[in-house]
Chain A
């Protein structure tokens, strides 16, 4: 499956919906979207990965790059993910300690609201 990307804003949060496979072929598109969002002043990003079928280290690198960019503006990049096979790669690489990972968009929005 190819990669489908969509995004919308709710209050101060930009939700990025990702569907499909994030790998060496498709990750540049996600990277471009994250850079574009940051360049347009969206510094609080929530990447919804509930429909992601596959994620490799290239995709992880893109997410880390996005995190570095939003942090440069005191922003945040958090994730929604409950799929064990996706969470596993975050655990192997120790990135569960780097990203806020939530079970749902609502849970993330609630946490984001508390942090504001």
Chain B
């Protein structure tokens, strides 16, 4: 099992970086080209949700994303430390810069995209684990 761990500040600009890194590692791990758009979108959704939650509850805390090549699966885990009891409530930072019109939609999108999804949440944060099939030898199918 090979793991890449990325830690980033809760800034919207970093979500794109997380998407790019996840897509690059997915390709290298052997996720088929047809699934890479789904990986990119699902990872982006998970990181966006985490950034929005951190900006409200704990803007100084980083978000962690782990990317694993695990026996023919490409697994991504996004972990935040913002209390998530209010998952379905609008998340509105004090400066009003982010005002989601449809809170909770991101999780629905992830569920529709990832092959395998597990969401665990609580007072200490949320963990979204998702995975996709990858070729066992890590060579991307073309």
Contacts and interface: CB of A to CB of B under 8 A. Distances in A.
Interface of A: 21, 23-25, 28, 31, 54, 56-58, 60-62, 64-65, 68, 85, 88-89, 92-93
Contacts, number: 66
Contacts of B141: none
A56 B48 contact: yes
Contacts of B105: 57, 60-61, 93
Interface of B: 12-13, 15-16, 19, 37, 40-41, 44-45, 48, 51-52, 97-102, 105-106, 108-109, 112-113
A61 B102 contact: yes
B37 A24 contact: no
A60 B100 CA distance: 9
Given A58-B48, A64-B102, A93-B108, A25 B16 contact: yes
Contact of A28 (B16, B40, B98, B106): B98
